[in-house]
Amino acid sequence: GYYLCQASNGVGSDISKSMILTVKIPAMITSHPNTTMARKGQTKELNCTARGEQPIIIRWERGDTVIDAERNPRYSITINKKGDEVISTLKL
């Protein structure tokens, strides 16, 4: 929002300075995958939803390895954005 700071001391004219305050919202995960099971060979989807100041980047990892769906055809990742919310779906 817009704010105005005014100063005066009775000597000379009053002075003022306007400023804008922008509030940033940190990213937070609002829903995430819990423990789940799948049969071998079965396709499974995991969803992770985060909300906050854009842009939000959701990264999937397995163990200590970042999942790169562009280099590994076993995985696919889709991103849907709705307002301040990002939903990432990992399909494996």
pTM above 0.85, yes or no: no
30 lies in which domain range?
25-91
List, for the chain, all residue ranges whose pLDDT scores fall below the cut of 50: none
Asked if residue 56 belongs to a domain, the reply is: yes
Q: How many domains does the chain have?
A: 1
Handedness of CA 53, 58, 64, 68 (dihedral sign): negative
Q: To the nearest 10°, report the CA torsion of 24, 68, 75, 59.
A: -20
- The answer to the question of residue 39 being in a domain is yes
pLDDT, tens digit, for every residue of 57-81? 999 999 999 999 999 999 999 999 9
Strands (E), 1-84: 2-7, 15-20, 28-31, 45-51, 61-62, 65-66, 76-82
Domain annotation covers residue 34: yes
